Structure 1
Amino acid sequence: MPEPLVEPPSTSIALMLRAVYNRLTAEIQDAVNAAGLDDFRPVHGNVIPFVPSGGTTVSTLASQLGLSKQAIAQVVEELERLGYVERRVNPSDRRARLLFLTARGRAVRPVAQAASKEVERRWAELIGPDSLESLRGTLRGLLDTLESQGSE
């Protein structure tokens, strides 16, 4: 569990979102590690949830996540070394390689999803289910608006 903040994140949305995200990430990390995947780090969560079953390229993943290709490639190299992902030749472009989750990589997802649901359940107890659903709806609405503006 992360250390409490020395000072509250004030009213800055950026700081509040980061503080909430850090707590969520720490709890998911604890659950994944407790499931025996003790070399899994929070940064790996930037890749594992976003690899489709049909595979993807590092470039596509970086573009979808809004991160640099170099940053994603570095995480992918570590995940490959740890046995969470593998790269295979792309059958439609022999020069490119597709990224796939291994059985070990696929094992992370249900553990992380269960931990996330447990966190949300506890948050609903803390602030009330209506408030949590309101937060979810507000964030979804903001993301949808931002995404639609990005495609204009």
Structure 2
Amino acid sequence: MTQLPPRARPQSLGVLLRLAHQHFASAVDEALGQAGFGDIRPHHANVFSFVPPEGIPVSELTLKAGVRKQTMAQAVEELERLGYVERRAHPNDKRSRLVFLTERGTKIRPLAMATGEGVERSWAQRLGEGELEALRAGLQALLGKVHGGEGAC
């Protein structure tokens, strides 16, 4: 079997996905910092991305984000200290608490989404709209299959 020289070997898909995510996340981090939200860290996206207006238990956030319960609990605690989320008693289960975005917290998602859309437009200009949509479709199909037929995010 012939080995390709180091430069000719295709990069690992994991590395490529991580680098693309870093580019995307850096743009969002920069926009958040410029808007006065410099205390938000990338792992906080696991919270902001999945909290609905009616609130959500940490256990459900954990499942939606695909992270460990300890990781999610830590992110929620950090965001609560920073004033982005609050926990309130569950109306149907007094033993449980729901996570809600505060007024400050509700400002994050629209800014992050607008910035993300800008990154995607930039990528579409560089790569081509069709190529970017093919990438999106392929990733959605892969994630759907990996997650047992569930729809991807």
Task: Say whether the fold is shared (TM-score over 0.5).
Answer: yes
State yes or no: 1:140 paired with 2:140. yes
Partner of residue 13, structure 1: 13
| Paired amino acid for 1:32 | L
TM-score by length of 2: 0.88
Shift, 1:33, TM fit = 1.2
The structure with more radius of gyration: 2
Q: Partners of 2:149 and 2:110 in 1: how far apart?
A: 33
Percent identity of the aligned residues?
Answer: 45
Q: Partners of 1:10 and 1:45 in 2: how far apart?
A: 30
Q: Secondary structure at the match of 1:100?
A: strand
Q: Secondary structure at the match of 2:96?
A: strand
Structure 2 segments unaligned to the other structure (5+ residues)? 1-6
Q: Secondary structure at the match of 1:99?
A: strand
Shift, 1:110, TM fit = 0.8
Q: Partners of 1:54 and 1:28 in 2: how far apart?
A: 25
Shift, 1:80, TM fit = 0.1
Partner of residue 3, structure 1: none
Shift, 1:138, TM fit = 0.9
Shift, 1:149, TM fit = 5.0
Partner of residue 40, structure 2: 40
RMSD of aligned alpha carbons: 1.7
Shift, 1:94, TM fit = 0.5
Partner of residue 118, structure 2: 118
Partner of residue 25, structure 1: 25
What does 1:51-66 align with in structure 2 at a 5 Å threshold?
51-66=51-66
Q: Secondary structure at the match of 1:103?
A: coil
Q: How many residues align?
A: 143
Structure 1 segments unaligned to the other structure (5+ residues)? 1-6
